[in-house]
């Protein structure tokens, strides 16, 4: 039933939570901000950085936000060596889905600089026809980035599905009027995803191919 599969990146395609947490904690320490727990940072994964920072540090001065963004980017992209890797089965599953005729896109809370970097590192960019990042549109859970992807691809919401590991991903999908697929192995516990009534829950990335069998519009 779907023509377009729209993927979140962090926590859905790549296992990056540990580096996100470490980088945000180091950025906060550099600027003498309150100590951030692992769970607190995990909770905001998926949001754009300004929205994430405001949630993490209520009442933070506006002038501090750009500094935190800069320090976080420095650690995540350059100075933090916490390993990140694709979840098992990602590349082959994406190749299989593309060969089956699905169109693929990315809707992520990452910056464009960050997404371009991981595209280059993983070599997966060729599989996706378009992408939207939080610093070039409205942050999740607002549906704006999905609406832009639909407009660009010429499809209706009923022809697309949003796939992600956080409640921000699924809320965004629901608000855009499209079906959602939840990921149980990512940042948010599955109990936070089920209220959005995902049509499928993936416990491994490779579950997606079998779960979608027979649903594609030809």
- Among 10, 80, 169, 179, the active-site one is 10
Phi, psi (rounded to 5 degrees) for 135: -90, 5
- CB count within 10 Å of CB 186 equals 27
Residues above pLDDT 70, as percent of the chain: 98
27-74 pLDDT, tens digit per residue, is: 999 999 999 999 999 998 888 889 999 999 999 999 999 999 999 989
How much is the pLDDT for 30? 95
Q: Is residue 218 part of a domain?
A: no
- Annotation says 15 is catalytic: no
Distances in whole angstroms, Cα of residue 162 to Cα of each of 12, 55, 136, 157, 186: 11, 24, 19, 10, 15
Could you tell me the maximum CA-CA distance found in the chain, to the nearest angstrom?
A: 55
Burial (CB count <10 Å: 0-12, 13-18, 19+), residue 85: exposed
Query: Model's pTM, two decimal places?
Result: 0.89
Quote the tokens at residue 55. 């949630």
How much is the pLDDT for 150? 98
Instruction: Check: CB of residue 150 under 8 Å from CB of residue 160.
Output: yes
Task: Please count the residues of the chain.
Answer: 218
How much is the pLDDT for 215? 56
The residue among 79, 112, 130 that closes a domain is: 79
Same domain, 120 and 194: yes
The stretch 83-106 carries a mean pLDDT of 95
Same domain, 11 and 117: yes
- Among 8, 80, 165, 207, the active-site one is 8
| Of 47 and 115, more confident | 115
pLDDT(217) > 80: no
How much is the pLDDT for 79? 85
128-150 pLDDT, tens digit per residue, is: 999 999 999 999 999 999 999 99
160-176 pLDDT, tens digit per residue, is: 999 999 999 999 999 99
- Annotation says 81 is catalytic: no
CATH of the domain at 134: 3.40.50.1000
Same domain, 46 and 141: no
Same domain, 66 and 90: no
How much is the pLDDT for 218? 32
Count of domains forming the chain:
2
Q: Give every CB contact of residue 121 below 8 A, 6+ residues apart in sequence.
A: none
Distances in whole angstroms, Cα of residue 10 to Cα of each of 38, 62, 84, 104, 218: 16, 26, 10, 16, 30
The helix/strand/coil state of 212 is: helix
User: What is the C-alpha separation between 138 and 132, in angstroms, rounded?
Assistant: 10
Same domain, 208 and 105: yes
Mean model confidence pLDDT for the chain: 93
| Of 131 and 82, more confident | 131
């Amino acid at each position: 039933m779907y023509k377009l599969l729209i993927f979140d990146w962090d926590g859905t395609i790549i296992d990056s939570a540990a580096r996100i947490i470490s980088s945000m904690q180091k950025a906060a320490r550099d600027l003498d901000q309150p100590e951030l727990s692992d769970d607190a940072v995990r909770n905001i994964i998926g949001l754009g950085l300004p929205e994430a920072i405001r949630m993490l540090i209520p009442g933070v001065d506006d002038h501090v936000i750009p500094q935190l963004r800069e320090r976080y980017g420095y650690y995540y992209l350059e100075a933090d060596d916490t390993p990140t890797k694709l979840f098992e089965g990602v590349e082959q599953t994406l190749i299989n889905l593309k060969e089956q005729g699905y169109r693929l896109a990315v809707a992520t809370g990452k910056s464009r600089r960050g997404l371009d970097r991981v595209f280059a590192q993983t070599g997966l960019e060729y599989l996706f026809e378009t992408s939207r990042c939080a610093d070039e549109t409205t942050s999740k859970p607002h549906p704006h980035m999905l609406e832009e992807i639909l407009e660009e691809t010429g499809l209706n919401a009923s022809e697309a599905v949003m796939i992600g590991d956080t409640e921000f991903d699924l809320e965004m999908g629901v608000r855009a009027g499209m079906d959602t697929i939840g990921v149980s192995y990512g940042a948010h516990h599955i109990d936070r995803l089920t209220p959005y009534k995902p049509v499928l829950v993936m416990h491994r990335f490779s579950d997606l191919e079998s779960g979608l069998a027979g649903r594609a519009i030809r």
